[in-house]
Amino acid sequence: MKLFRILILCVSLAIGSNAVTITEAQAQCAMCSLNAENSTQNGNTQGQGLNDGILFLLAMPFLIGAGVAILWYKKYRHKEEKSPIF
């Protein structure tokens, strides 16, 4: 029980210190950032392609997670139907 409290305290301190300290992060390299900022000038569509690529990469983990959840649910439901009711 004491170990659990220490673990909760450490996790709370880590989350709290992370929430208090705000730093600006660069999500892209300098070339990609410059390209994205200038994407609307002169009919440049590379920025839109960059955004589409980011959305595609973001969607894949969610689709995989949804597939695993559906398979898990179907397997659980199948076991539940087989169990006898007393």
Domain boundaries, the chain: 29-86
What pTM, to 2 d.p., does this model score? 0.42
The residue-averaged pLDDT of 31-58 equals 75
Mean pLDDT, all residues of the chain: 78
Confidence of residue 30 (pLDDT cuts 50, 70, 90): confident
Amino acid at 81: E
The pLDDT confidence band at residue 66, using thresholds 50, 70 and 90, is very high
Q: Tell me the angle at which helices 46-82 and 30-37 cross, rounded to the nearest 10 degrees.
A: 100
Could you tell me the CA-to-CA distances from 54 to 26, 29, 36, 45 in Å, in that order? Answer: 15, 14, 12, 15
Quick check: 17 and 6 in contact, CB under 8 A?
Answer: no
| 40 secondary structure, DSSP code | T
What DSSP element (H or E) covers 6? helix 2-20
